[in-house]
Structure 1
Amino acid sequence: MTEEPQERKVRQLDARSLRGLAHPLRMQLLDALRHHGPATASQLGERLGESSGATSYHLRQLAAHGFVEDAPEHGKGRERWWRAVDQGLAFHAEDFEQAGPEVRGMAEMYLHEVANTHARELSSWLSARDRWSEEWSRASDMSNATLRLTPELAVELVQRMHALIDDYRDRAPGKDAPNSEQVRVHTHLFPIETD
C-alpha cells in the first residue's frame, strides 16, 4: 500500500510576514528547521556558527510572525524545541510593487539572501561531492540554458517546471528507501541583456 502524498503547506509572503523574515540569520534558521527538522536554539547556533542567544532571539521573532512554533514533543525538561510551520514559501514580486521603500528594501534583501543561499548550497555540494557515491555524483546536475521567450512563455515554463518538481515530490520514496537522499533543486529564470 502506498501513502497518499500530503498536501505541501506553502506560505505566501506579504509585507507583514516579510518584516519578520527579511534577515539573513532568520532565513538560515527557517531553512535549517525546514530541511533538518526540529531543533533547539543551541543546536541551531552550533549548526550555523552563531550564539544560542542570537538564535533564540531570532527564533522568537520568527515565531511572532508565524514561521516557527514550539515542538514540545521533542523537549525534555526546560529544553525548548522549534519546528517550521510551513514546508515552503511563495514570493510574488507583483505583491510588493506598490509598497513603500522600506518594504521594497526588505523584499530586495530577501531575494538577495535566497540567491546567496542557493550559491552556498551549490558551493557546499561541489566541495563535498567526492564524499558521495559515484552514482549520486552522476545523478547531480549543474546546467544552464539560454532561450528567447516572451513573458507569457516564461511564466508557462516556470509553472511547468514547478509542476514537474511537484510530480517528483509526490512520487518520493520514504526516508528508509534504499539509496534515497534528500535533494535540492534550484530554478532560476530571468532575462539577460544582450547587445
Structure 2
Amino acid sequence: MDQRREITDPQALRALAHPIRLKLLELLTVDGPATGRKLADRVGESTASVSYHVAQLAKWGLVEPAAELARGRERPWRATSRGLTWSVTGDGSPEFAAASRALREQFIANRLGVLEEFQRYQHEFDAAWQEASWVGEDIGYLDPAELIEATERIKAVISSYTDPERPRTAGSRRVAFFGYAVPTREGEG
C-alpha cells in the first residue's frame, strides 16, 4: 500500500467530500480489507448504499477489490493508500479551490465529531485513557519553510505510530490524531 496519495482532480475531491465515503475510506485504511456487508454494519448504512459509495471511491482509485481475500459471495475491498493529500489551490481554477475547500470542510467536521464524541463519553474510559488523551494548542511565528518543516516532523512522528505494519500492543485501542497548522491573519513578523 502506498503511503500517501495526492488527489489532483477536482471531481475526485468532490466525490470524496461526503461523510460516508470518508468514513468508509478511513475504515478500509485503518482496519484493513472489509466486505460491503461488514462496512455497512460499521457505518449504519444499507449494503446497497455502501456499495454505491465504495464504487465511487473505486472510480477514483481510492479503493480496490481485495480479490485474494474473496470467499464465496463475499467480496472485500481495501484502500489503495495509507492517506491522502491534496493542494489547496491545485490548478488555480475556482472549481478546484471550491472542491478542495469542500473536502477540507468535511474532513474537519469528521475530526471535530471524534473530539466531541470523546468529550461526551470521556467518563466511560478508564483513568489511564483519560490521562493519556491530549488536547492542546500553541502559537508561534514561522515562515512558510519553517511551517513545512514543522508539519513534516509532526507527520513523521504520528506515522511511526500509525503504520499498519506496526504490531499492536496489549491494551491498545484505536486512537484518532488530528492537528492543524495554519497561518493567522494577525501578527505578521
Q: Which residue of 2 aligns with 1:29?
A: 24
Match of 1:55 among 50, 53, 57: 50
Q: Does 1 or 2 have the higher relative contact order (CA < 8 Å, sep 6+)?
A: 2
* Post-superposition offset of 1:149: 2.5
In structure 2, C-alpha distance between the alignment counterparts of 1:46 and 1:181, rounded to whole Å: 20
- Superposed, 1:7-156 pairs within 5 Å as 9-15=3-9, 17-94=12-89, 96-98=90-92, 100-156=93-149
- Superposed, 1:169-184 pairs within 5 Å as 169=162, 174-175=167-168, 177-184=169-176
Tell me the secondary structure at the aligned position of residue 191 of structure 1. Answer: coil
Q: Between Structure 1 and Structure 2, how many residues are aligned?
A: 185
Tell me the secondary structure at the aligned position of residue 26 of structure 2. Answer: helix
Q: Which runs of 4+ in 1 moved over 6 A?
A: none
Post-superposition CA distance 1:94-147 (Å, at most 9, x none): 4x152x332222111111111011101112222333232211211110111122
Give the 3 Å change call, closer, same or farther, for CA 28–188 of structure 1 in structure 2: same
Post-superposition CA distance 1:19-67 (Å, at most 9, x none): 5423332222111211222222232223223222221011112112111
In structure 1, C-alpha distance between the alignment counterparts of 2:61 and 2:2, rounded to whole Å: 17
Identity %: 31
Is this contact kept in 2: 1:21–1:62, CA < 8 A? yes
Runs of 5+ unmatched residues, structure 1: 1-6
| Paired AA for residue 7 in structure 2 | L
Runs of 5+ unmatched residues, structure 2: none
Task: Give the TM-score of the pair, scaled to structure 1.
Answer: 0.81
Task: Give the TM-score of the pair, scaled to structure 2.
Answer: 0.83
Tell me the secondary structure at the aligned position of residue 115 of structure 2. Answer: helix
Tell me the secondary structure at the aligned position of residue 50 of structure 1. Answer: coil
In structure 1, C-alpha distance between the alignment counterparts of 2:107 and 2:130, rounded to whole Å: 25
Give the 3 Å change call, closer, same or farther, for CA 38–32 of structure 1 in structure 2: same
Q: Which residue of 1 aligns with 2:179?
A: 187
CA RMSD of aligned residues (A): 2.5
1:161 aligns with 2:154: yes
Is this contact kept in 1: 2:2–2:80, CA < 8 A? no
Is this contact kept in 1: 2:19–2:110, CA < 8 A? no
In structure 2, C-alpha distance between the alignment counterparts of 1:167 and 1:76, rounded to whole Å: 33
Give the 3 Å change call, closer, same or farther, for CA 8–86 of structure 1 in structure 2: closer
| Paired AA for residue 39 in structure 1 | A
